[in-house]
Structure 1
């Protein structure tokens, strides 16, 4: 029988990363919808906006990769 790559125990071990992921997604959506402090893309001085989105998207990507790699290692090491 083929073993499931992400079984129940593995999902319970990596579910702790769901909260930071949800927080990052909420911030990305809020900063996209509501920009209270100034220019948006296409206007003058968009560098702070690009840096902000870069930090948020990079952090989200790193969290997803780390969660995936940890799930693979956890599922591999379980008996």
Structure 2
């Protein structure tokens, strides 16, 4: 999973580009199935050109943006949402390490209290 270019977070960031791609694709199909302005070759070519060219450029932009977002997450520290400009903010890795340490401590405390309860029951 670490080798994926477009993980869940990256896809969520790219949603602002993916939704217009679907909208443009819908209109290409709709105009191909139901020609609203007739089937005149020049008019149809201009109509589909005005849809296809932005679609291609937006698809390229979306792909490059996804690679840039994923690459930046590997190079630079990642902060929790809204914490990138806050002084002394903990990175996402530090936050996860603290959460894992707290969880391990809670499990150890539960094990110790369970052992004490079983010792008391034996007596």
Q: TM-score range by the shorter chain?
A: 0.7 to 0.9
Q: Which has the higher contact order (CA 8 A, sep 6+)?
A: 1
Query: Do structure 1's residue 74 and structure 2's residue 69 form an aligned pair?
Result: yes
Q: Residue 65 of structure 1 corresponds to which residue in structure 2?
A: 60
**Paired residues for 1:13-24 under 5 Å:** 13-24=13-24
TM-score, normalised on structure 1? 0.82
Give the CA deviation at 1:36: 2.9
Give the number of aligned pairs. Answer: 74
Q: Residue 7 of structure 1 corresponds to which residue in structure 2?
A: 7
Task: Give 3-state SS (helix, strand or coil) of 2:14's partner.
Answer: helix
The structure that has the greater radius of gyration is 2
Contact residue 5 and residue 70 of structure 2 kept, 8 A: yes
Unaligned runs of 5+ in 2: 75-123
**Paired residues for 1:19-58 under 5 Å:** 19-38=19-38, 40=39, 45-58=40-53
Matches of 1:36 and 1:67, distance apart in 2: 30
Task: Give 3-state SS (helix, strand or coil) of 1:36's partner.
Answer: coil
Contact residue 18 and residue 62 of structure 2 kept, 8 A: no
Q: CA RMSD in A?
A: 1.7
Unaligned runs of 5+ in 1: none
Runs of 4+ residues over 3 Å off in structure 1: none
Matches of 1:8 and 1:30, distance apart in 2: 30
